[in-house]
């Protein structure tokens, strides 16, 4: 294997007519990596504050996610119960073992059966948080970890996301800054934009190919910080 590695690297260097990078060129390449500078940013990706939230809502709705704004996390159980009833879904949830979701007063809706952990095959509906929402395309950013099993994003038919409005940022690059601040990247970072879909049958879009058919976002105002950052 390391012979193949050497041969491939050698082939690259032969084609580029040089040896391994060194000196200034190496320093410049190292700097480029370390600095991870942003390239050209579209103006749409600079949306901030209430404008950013509105853009997020508009873009997410365009891709067939549904969005509901709530004043406080206390309102989550009622909103979830109403959503399940509206869609004739069983009153059963698989909730991510996320401290913020633990703090939600699920006991307000005692008819809701709340299980925690990773998704099981029979789970119809999951509830997770999100690291961020990206306004430019209505995209949710999830990072796997003990508080967020990835399977909750993928396996159930319905995925409900509780997102604080102060976690809505303008651009993907803003989201990467948030993730970098948390330390090394998780095993899986999902950028989720709308429910699962396919156009593979005669070019018509059908929702719910393998991932969730429904993506419902509960946008919760408040949180400790200011409004959304740029």
Partner 1 sequence: MESTSHAFKDNVHEALRDERLQRALGKMKVGFQGNRRRAIERLPEFEALRDEGRAIKDHVLEHLDFYLERFESRVVEAGGHVHWCRTAAEARETIARICRDAGARTVTKGKSMVAEEIAINDHLEREGFEPIETDLGEYIIQLRREPPSHIIAPAVHLSKEDVAEAFYAAHRDLDPERSLVEPTALISEARAMLRQKFQQADVGITGANFLIAETGSTVIVTNEGNGDLTQTLPRVHVVLASLEKVVPTLEDASTILRLLARSATGQEFSAYTTFSTGPRRPGDPDGPQEFHVVLLDNGRTAMLGTEFQEMLRCIRCGACMNHCPVYASVGGHAYGWVYPGPMGAVLTPSLIGVDAAGHLPNASTFCGRCESVCPMRIPLPKMMRHWREKEYAAGLTPATQRWGLGFWAWFARRPGLYHLGTRLAAGLLGRLGRRQGRLRRLPLAGGWTDWRDMPAPEGRTFQQLWAERRESARREDAR
Q: Which of residues 187-216 bind partner 1 (CB under 8 A)?
A: 187-204, 206, 208-212
User: How far is the C-alpha of 39 from the C-alpha of 27, rounded, in Å?
Assistant: 20
CB closer to partner 1 out of 17 and 226: 17
Is 77 or 133 the residue whose CB approaches partner 1 more closely?
Answer: 133
**Region binding partner 1 by CB under 8 A among candidate stretches 29-37, 47-55, 75-83, 160-168:** 29-37
208 vs 227, which CB is nearer to partner 1? Answer: 208
79 contacts 68 by C-beta, under 8 angstroms: yes
DSSP 148: B
> In what side-by-side order are the strands of the sheet with 214-220?
66-70, 214-220, 158-164, 125-128, 92-95, 113-116
Among positions 27, 82, 85, 185, the unique one binding partner 1 when judged by CB under 8 A: 185
The nearest distance, CB 156 to partner 1, in angstroms, is 11
48 or 207: CB nearest partner 1:
207
Q: For the CB of residue 27, give the shortest distance to partner 1 in the complex, in Å.
A: 11
- Interaction residues for partner 1, span 31-50 (CB under 8 A): 32-33, 36-40, 42-44
Residue number with CB closer to partner 1 (21 or 48)? 21
Size of the site for partner 1 (CB under 8 A): 81
- Residue given tokens 């699962």 in the structure block: 196
Q: Strands 92-95 and 197-198: what pairing? A: unpaired
Q: Give the whole-angstrom CA distance, residue 136 versus residue 13.
A: 40
Contact with partner 1 (CB under 8 A) among 68, 92, 100, 173: 173
- 122: contact with partner 1 by CB under 8 A: no
Cα separations in angstroms, 8 against 2, 67, 148, 228: 10, 49, 39, 46
- Write out the binding residues for partner 1, residues 61-90 only, by CB under 8 A: 62-63
CB 147 within 8 A of CB 67: no
| Region of 8-16, 75-83, 124-132, 221-229 interacting with partner 1 (CB under 8 A) | 8-16
Residue 103, burial from CB neighbour count under 10 angstroms (0-12, 13-18, 19+): exposed
């Amino acid at each position: 294997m390391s012979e193949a590695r050497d041969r491939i690297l050698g082939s690259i260097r032969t084609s580029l007519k040089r040896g391994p990078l060194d000196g200034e060129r190496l320093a410049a390449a190292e700097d480029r990596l370390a600095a991870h500078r942003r390239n050209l940013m579209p103006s749409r990706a600079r949306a901030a504050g209430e404008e950013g939230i509105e853009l997020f809502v508009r873009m997410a709705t365009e891709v067939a996610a549904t969005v509901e704004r709530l004043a406080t996390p206390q309102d989550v159980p009622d909103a979830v119960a109403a959503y399940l009833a509206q869609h004739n879904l069983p009153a059963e949830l698989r909730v991510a073992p996320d401290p913020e979701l633990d703090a939600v007063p699920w006991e307000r809706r005692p008819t809701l059966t709340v299980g925690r952990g990773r998704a099981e095959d029979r789970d119809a509906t999951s509830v997770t948080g999100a690291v961020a929402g990206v306004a430019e395309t209505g995209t949710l950013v999830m990072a796997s970890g003990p508080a967020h099993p990835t399977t909750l994003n993928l396996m159930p038919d319905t995925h409900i996301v509780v997102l604080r409005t102060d976690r809505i940022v303008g651009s993907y690059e803003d989201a990467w800054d948030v993730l970098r601040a948390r330390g090394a990247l998780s095993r899986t970072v999902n950028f989720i934009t709308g429910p699962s879909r396919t156009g593979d049958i005669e070019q018509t879009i059908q929702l719910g190919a393998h991932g969730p058919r429904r993506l419902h976002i509960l946008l919760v105002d408040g949180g400790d910080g200011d409004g959304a950052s740029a």
